[in-house]
Structure 1
Amino acid sequence: MGLLALLYQPDSKAQGLKVSENGRYLQKPDGSPFFYLGDTAWELFHRLNREESEQYLKNRAEKGFTVIQAVVLAELDGLKTASAEGEVPLIDMDPARPNEKYFEHVDFVVNKAQELGIYIGMLPTWGDKFNLKWGVGPEVFSPENARIFGEFLGKRYKDKSVIWILGGDRSPEEPEDFEIVRAMARGIKKGDKGSHLITYHPMGGQSSAQFFHSDEWLDFNMFQSGHGIVNNQNYKATAREYKLNPIKPVLDGEPCYEDHPINWQAKNGWFDEFDSRRTGYWSMLSGACGHTYGNHNIWQMWRPGKAPVSEARTPWWQSLDYPGAFQAGYMRHLFESRPWQTLVPERSLVTDAPNTAGKEVLAAIAADGSYVIAYAPYGSSFKLDLSRLKGDRMRVWWFNPRIGKSMLVHETTRTESIEADPPSDEKRGNDWVLVVDNADQNYPPPGADLSQVSR
């Protein structure tokens, strides 16, 4: 059996996702938790041909990604510059007149992803097509044609593995913007009979909850922590959304991309795999239902000959195996080696830890007290309260998020707390995850049994 067959279970039939009864996470049709591990491929439909699309999707399946976020009406002059297959998406830039040839390619990508067990997080449009603000545009949407376009997409992909993501790096500002978004949501729901989840991708530093939290069509919240700040404390946004009512799942749909220039300027340096990794663990331990990874070269599918956006510097195919992409998969496997959907954020379990921005140690505990997880971004020492851990004996592990391996520290009588001192010296990038189990649960090593992980 090949590597791909070990790491995912292909499924030619669409599996409609739903929100869990407690509103905290996403579920597969059988009720098992769905870990949303997204990759950012905004220009996938627009800039890759079929062979390249298949290469990209297989690579992401191997690494354990479960969702690929891609845009139908793409950001980079997606209405007027033909796709890699030589087609534009709309006839005369009219959303009510989609070009069948263009959508045949979208069909191919959606079907290939489904074969590989991956959902397409499908953005009907980039936000500049209804709120230009910056970028190419032009604005082509009205509430009426947004509804028509939404219904077209909903019908076309009603039996496919998709998650709908409205917005596209724009937040609604004018009353008509809100009308357009809500009309598109109504159209999608009419077209697919409400069989798929819908969320909203806002601009940097904002969240879907600010605009649509009470709308019934918004199934889960998505925020964008973005690319402008070093040591961006994205966990604060997750924690804020986690406390909202009505309760809805939440995730960071666009954190800092690996190999993205800090604040869009290379003179400031570049976000690396550690920056990318930390946003994931911080958000997950603050109550997220998953996380999205991004690589600056891949979202735009940059290649020599194309104008690089914000100083992209490596061809997309050479960027597929950046360390952060592997490490995103390691994170998923760690959480899936435990009943992660039962985790409750509990930062108060951590004391005697750094309070410096970027070094914060976060923790969460299973609702049934069966295990505790804590993440130390710099490998700083800390004290962990275990008074709520169940059982008479505990099993203590360190998990290395850089290589996806764990080591057993010891199994011993449960104590009320432990003094945790991660391996090696405190420094940037020496991050470690502490996992403490009720030994009676006999959980496998954290991140173990990767070949058995299924979507």
Structure 2
Amino acid sequence: MKQLLTYFLLLFTLPAFAQLKVSADHHYLQTNDGKPFFWLGDTAWELFHRLNRQDADLYLEDRANKGFTIIQAVVLAELDGLNTPNAYGEKPLINNDPTQPNEEYFKHVDYIVKKAEKLGLIVGMLPSWGDKWNKAWGVGPEIFTPENARIFGEYLGKRYKNNSIVWIMGGDRDIVDQEDRDIITAMVEGLKKGDEGKHLFTFHPAGGKSSSNFFKDAQWIDFHMSQTGHSKESKNYLFNIKNRTLTPVRPHLDGEPRYEDHPNQFNPVKFGWMDDFDARQTAYWSMLSGAFGHTYGNHNIWQFYTEDRAPVSWARTNWKVALNQLGAIQVGFMRRVFEKRNWQRLVPDQSILPKDNIENEEYQMASISQDGDFLFAYLPYGNKVKINTEKLTGKQLKGWLFNPHDGYTISLGNFENTGSKEIEPPSMGRGSDWLVIIDDAAKNYPNPQIINLLSKIH
């Protein structure tokens, strides 16, 4: 197992203490040495609050193993994070006072942040879940004012100034009044003072919203994040399309999409459950509609469900088993196949696809490189399609069918660029999704196949 982990880390690891910056065109993130950074996040909201160090190691090693780059976790957690102690009996604050952090609690947070760094992971750190400043629902209590939010922010900023962090404000809440806005703004000011401006910022809103709904013009926000909803009907590509039209231009991604193994529309009896296909579809829709990455989520993992805990919203699978549910493995394949090409050069372009592309569960998405040297097209149901290749510059083209299930490819061979190419995948129907990749043959780009890791992971 250790040899396998070492192999994966060679494939996926980022430099330790990596800090990020926004690209010159404001459409994606880069490491400080100028390399494109592929955000592949996992929602581990209760990580600091519920896991001991041994289990945190297990979780983080697994996610590094599978190719994740970001772990989204909350300091003052959602599930009674103020008054239910962590695995070591420690609460985060003394007397629920944000100006009196409990050093012992934060030593545990320190451990997890440093362990993540060793594995090449960046922590997307939420200082607090939203119920601590806007108790629209949840446990609360509301404890923040602009004054103590600034103090708490400065404390966190100083403590994690030299760690690999992205700050995620909000926590499943909208800004509903001026007090909410003042609290978030003050906390940001404190964080920036404490970390000396070393880290990027975004905001995690409630479902069906984007940070741009509340902070489109805020100078402090570096990229936008949406929460697109826990429903098979969600069309997360619409959020990317909207955010790409905004001024000022900022990178955007889906920071909380459909969760794998989550009850569809929160009603498992009527609507069933979401699965690996739902997780894959929302991921490929994200990337081909202009996102700079994607966050995966698993309903059992965000809450670290075990049988001795009350399940939230019908969680049904022990989190250690859920680690290997297929969607988590397959989004790692997605990251790797995009990185086989200069993915950051992709621009959404639906003219590549036929006009009778109905916006339902079979909706196809496509993007083409700004340089005209390759295109990607996602076929959720594997339907036969005629791809428009007129915008590709090569006279000779080379094609591939990439299988999002297992990372294998089927060669489509070399062919003349006549302006279109008919593609007929070998399988059709729900769950038979395929990614079409067509290259300028003169570029000699490699086979985008990803080594099949499924048998090694299980």
Give the distance between the partners of 1:248 and 1:317, measured in 2 at CA.
36
Give the distance between the partners of 2:404 and 2:441, measured in 1 at CA.
22
**CA offsets, 1:319-347, max 9 Å, x none?**
10000000010000010000000000001
Letter in 1 for 2:336: H
Q: Does 1:6 align with 2:4?
A: no
Give the distance between the partners of 2:273 and 2:23, measured in 1 at CA.
37
**Residue 314 of structure 1: how far off its partner (Å):** 1.0
**Residue 265 of structure 1: how far off its partner (Å):** 2.0
Give me the TM-score of the superposition, normalised by structure 2. 0.96
SS in 1 for 2:358: coil
Q: Does 1:95 align with 2:103?
A: no
Q: Does 1:185 align with 2:151?
A: no
Letter in 1 for 2:373: S
SS in 1 for 2:42: strand
Match of 2:456 in 1: none
Match of 2:400 in 1: 397
**CA offsets, 1:370-428, max 9 Å, x none?**
1000001011122211111012211100000011111211112222111221222x311
Give the distance between the partners of 1:353 and 1:422, measured in 2 at CA.
18
Match of 1:212 in 2: 215
Match of 1:254 in 2: 256
SS in 2 for 1:69: strand
Give the distance between the partners of 1:221 and 1:282, measured in 2 at CA.
17
**Structure 1 segments unaligned to the other structure (5+ residues):** none
Q: Which moved more, 1:411-420 or 1:95-104?
A: 411-420
**CA offsets, 1:160-190, max 9 Å, x none?**
0111100000011011000001111111111
**Residue 3 of structure 1: how far off its partner (Å):** 1.9
Give me the TM-score of the superposition, normalised by structure 1. 0.97
Match of 2:172 in 1: 169
Give the distance between the partners of 2:98 and 2:256, measured in 1 at CA.
26
Q: Does 1:446 align with 2:448?
A: yes
Q: Which moved more, 1:276-285 or 1:377-386?
A: 377-386
1:47-446 equivalence runs, <5 A? 47-227=50-230, 229-267=231-269, 268-351=271-354, 353-424=356-427, 426-446=428-448
Letter in 2 for 1:439: A
Evaluate the alpha carbon distance shift between residue 231 and residue 446 of structure 1 in structure 2; reply closer, same or farther with a 3 A threshold. farther
**CA offsets, 1:22-56, max 9 Å, x none?**
00000001100000000110000000000000000
Q: Pairwise CA RMSD of aligned residues? A: 1.4
Runs of at least 4 residues off by over 6 Å: none
Give the distance between the partners of 1:8 and 1:193, measured in 2 at CA.
30
1:353–1:361 Cα contact (<8 Å) kept: no
**Residue 315 of structure 1: how far off its partner (Å):** 1.0
Letter in 2 for 1:242: R
SS in 1 for 2:147: helix
**Residue 13 of structure 1: how far off its partner (Å):** 3.4
**Residue 12 of structure 1: how far off its partner (Å):** 7.3
Give the distance between the partners of 1:340 and 1:403, measured in 2 at CA.
20
2:29–2:251 Cα contact (<8 Å) kept: yes
**Residue 214 of structure 1: how far off its partner (Å):** 1.0
2:407–2:452 Cα contact (<8 Å) kept: no
Give the distance between the partners of 1:388 and 1:266, measured in 2 at CA.
44
Larger RCO of the pair (alpha carbons < 8 Å, separation 6+): 1
Give the distance between the partners of 1:447 and 1:56, measured in 2 at CA.
27
Letter in 1 for 2:176: E
1:337–1:448 Cα contact (<8 Å) kept: no
Give the distance between the partners of 1:387 and 1:188, measured in 2 at CA.
49
Give the distance between the partners of 2:50 and 2:341, measured in 1 at CA.
38
SS in 2 for 1:384: strand
Give the distance between the partners of 2:172 and 2:134, measured in 1 at CA.
10
